Amino acid sequence: MSAGERVSLSSAPSPPGNSAARLVRLVLPIIVLAAGLGLWEFVVRVNDIKPYVLPAPSAVFTTLVRDWDVLSQSLLTTLLTTFEGFLAAAIGGIVLALLFNLSKWLEYSLFPYAVVLQVTPVIAIAPLLLIYLPQTTAVVVCAWIVAFFPVLSNTTLGLNSVDRNLAGLFQLYRASRLQTLFFLKLPAALPYILGGLRIAGGLSLIGAVVAEIAAGSAGAGSGLAYRIAESGYRLNIPRMFAALLLLSAAGIVIYGLLALTSHLVLRRWHESALGKES
């Protein structure tokens, strides 16, 4: 095969079937969502279900538009808490995993406590944190607790999963432990780190919501979870559904952004992302 033929084959457009498959993957969820909303609206109207029992989708969207000023401010509060908890979990988890890789004694000493922190229900910790810490700090700590362990465990796994042949090559060239860590292990662990961050993004939102519910039970709070609890006490069910809709949308956006970041970082060299653009 000549060089010109190889170039023409490598630059050939992707098969039309791939474009059709991507279109189907995009359209089918939209069709299912539209069908579900239509069935929901139909059932509510036919059975004349009261809004305080089950609001119709139209009532939820109307409430979302009418109460947007209040709900948007609560959304920003929840997103800020989520971002702070996620950032603390990402930095703390990665840095601690690097330290674990440099010192096995440190890993043996501290990793069991990270496991204990992970398996302890955050709903049980939140009321205690609200007693000993300021409300804003307590909510952020709850988001951090939930999101921290996936980053730590995935990064630790990635650093320990480096190819032995490459590690032997670094030893052959007398690379220092820090050189091996930053030039071999850390790049090799990048897919694991990004996977942990994708998990941590959604979990930090869950932690923030749990802490806000606990804060709302204590008579304080301003996030979306607090609005949900407040709406339940007042039987304002359409606003409750509207706040829940915003929370779900926020979680989808967070996961989508982290998945996109992972794809952009890995798409040129890692098997998990290769071929997705074809």
Q: Each residue of 169-204: pLDDT tens digit?
A: 888 888 888 888 888 888 888 999 999 999 999 999
Residue 214 near residue 126 (C-beta atoms within 8 A): yes
Q: Is the pLDDT of residue 152 over 90?
A: yes
Q: Which residue has the higher pLDDT, 28 or 21?
A: 28
In 103-185, alpha helices (H): 104-119, 122-132, 135-160, 164-172, 177-180
- Indicate the pLDDT class of residue 8, thresholds 50, 70 and 90: very low
Does residue 92 or residue 177 have the better pLDDT?
92
pLDDT value, residue 73:
92
What tokens does 183 get? Answer: 């030039």
Q: Which residues contact 74 (CB under 8 A, 6 or more apart)?
A: 222, 223, 224, 226, 227, 243
Instruction: Please give the structure tokens belonging to residue 120.
Output: 């302890």
Helix pair angle (186-217, 237-266), 10° resolution: 170
Kindly report which listed range (41-55, 107-121, 264-278) carries the lowest average pLDDT score.
264-278
**pLDDT of the residue at 64:** 92
Strongest mean pLDDT among 79-88, 213-222, 259-268:
79-88
CA 6: distance to chain centroid? Answer: 42
Assign a CATH topology to domain 53-266: MetI-like fold (1.10.3720)
The residue type found at 148 is F
Helices (H) and strands (E) in the chain, counts: 12, 0
Q: Region 65-91: what's the mean pLDDT?
A: 93
pLDDT category, 17, cuts 50, 70, 90? low
- Give the single-character DSSP code of 223: S
Residues 142 and 211 sit within 8 Å (Cβ to Cβ):
yes
Which amino acid type is present at position 172? L
138-160 burial code (b ≥16 CB/10 A, e <16): bbbbbbbbbbbbbbbbbbbebbe
In the predicted model, is pLDDT for residue 261 greater than 80?
yes
Alpha-carbon separation of residue 250 from 42, 136, 150, 192 (angstroms): 27, 20, 20, 24
Q: How far apart are CA 249 and CA 239, in angstroms?
A: 15
User: How much is the pLDDT for 16?
Assistant: 52
Instruction: Give the pLDDT confidence score for residue 11 in this predicted structure.
Output: 45
Whether residue 127 is predicted with pLDDT greater than 90 in this model: the reply is no
Binning pLDDT at 50, 70 and 90, where does residue 6 land?
A: very low
**How much is the average pLDDT of 73-87?**
93
Burial of 254 (0-12, 13-18, 19+ CB in 10 A): buried
Tokens of 233: 């006490």
Reported as a pLDDT band with limits 50, 70 and 90, residue 221 is: low
Read off the pLDDT band of 274 (50, 70, 90).
Answer: low
Range from 79-88, 157-166, 194-203 carrying the lowest mean pLDDT: 157-166
* Mean pLDDT calculated for residue range 124-152: 89
C-alpha span between 60 and 231 (Å, rounded): 13
